[in-house]
Amino acid sequence: MINAISKSKIGEDVCLQLSLPNHKYFYLCDCGQASDLTIADVKNLNGLFMSHTHIDHFYNFDMLLRHQLPVTRQIVICGPKGIAKNVQAKLLAYNWDILLTEEQAANALSYQIREITEKGIFLYELHTPKWKLERKRKLKEEYLYENEVFKVKYAILNHNTPSIAYSFIEHSKISMKENCPLKAGEWIKLLKKAFQEKNNQQIINIGNESFEAKDLFQYLEEKQGFQVSFVMDHLACEENHQKIIQLCKNTDELYIEAYYLSEEIDLAIKNHHSTAFISGKIAKEAGAKKAFPIHFSRRHQSPENLKILLQEFEKGFSV
């Protein structure tokens, strides 16, 4: 299960942390002001997924950098067109006159940037101490990001600037059915691998007998992994809504902006945002099992106004 927790308090910005059982790393969605984000969180950060780089979503990058300096691995950063130069500009703002040996530089903190555009996803790298931006290749993999525990899909939304929505999908769990008449053994691991790779003709040896994998698939059951979706700033319009619904279809948890009240719809459209009611309604249409509004206008940070926003969101989600 993917565990999501907001590291931003009411009145701060946006920073959602994702973690998984038996996986030592954390992942962040946006890095706005977040007083609950600890140094330990940052040191164990393995990936940052930016919706866009307006200041309330990118403000805290310097804090991440400060506490990642001792890290000797590559951190992945995903974001919209321009994110590579945005990150490089942050890095070049500092004086890096500490000399490193060639060996030290090779093992020091580095960043892999995955820049999401309408033409595809482009990979860049940044290495200390010069932080020269190196364009590597165009991503050809099926997913924006994938590791041993989850994969990530995305959609490009319109916020008068590209704003990336993300969906994190835990890998499905494959297990043997209890009624399997065959004796357990190492063959189960091979069978699961064949199932994942859709290798129907894989030969599976059990004792003195041999089977094609497809004849044993009947003894497997697949449980879909947990899904968490993150949808921040976007214009309330049909094109964005259809993208959100498709990306977040039947998601277990959806974290979404709820910036304005319904009576402020003109202001929402002017500033390329959504309202609490509309966001709740779209979450419902996407089939989200649970939906959480987590990004509000500063004009609505008081307990009284927040209560109204949440009521409007719940009303939309229950339509």
User: What's the pLDDT tens digit per position in 276-290?
Assistant: 999 999 999 999 999
Tell me the Ramachandran region of residue 165: left when phi exceeds 0, alpha when psi lies from -120 to 50, beta otherwise.
beta
Output 218 or 239, whichever has higher pLDDT. 239
Is 105's pLDDT higher than 80? Answer: no
Q: What is the pLDDT of residue 222?
A: 85
The pLDDT value recorded for residue 208 is 85
Beta-strand runs (E) in 232-289: 253-257
Inter-helix orientation angle 83-92/61-68, to 10°: 60
Q: What is the pLDDT of residues 15-32, one digit of tens each?
A: 999 999 989 999 999 999
Q: Give the largest CA-CA distance in the chain.
A: 73
CA 170 to chain CA centroid, nearest Å: 11
The pLDDT value given to residue 316: 97
More confident: 112 or 220: 112
CA distance 239 to 242: 5
Residue 156: beta bridge partners?
A: 164
Strand partners, 111: 75, 126
pLDDT at 99: 63
CB-based burial label for 148 (10 Å; 0-12, 13-18, 19+): exposed
Q: Which SS3 state, helix, strand or coil, does residue 131 take?
A: coil
Peptide bond into 293 cis (omega under 30): no
Domains within the chain, CATH numbers bracketed: 1-166 (3.60.15.10), 174-223 (no CATH), 234-319 (no CATH)
Count CA atoms closer than 13 A to 222's CA, side-chain side. 12
Tell me the pLDDT tens digit for each residue of 193-210.
Answer: 898 888 999 999 998 889
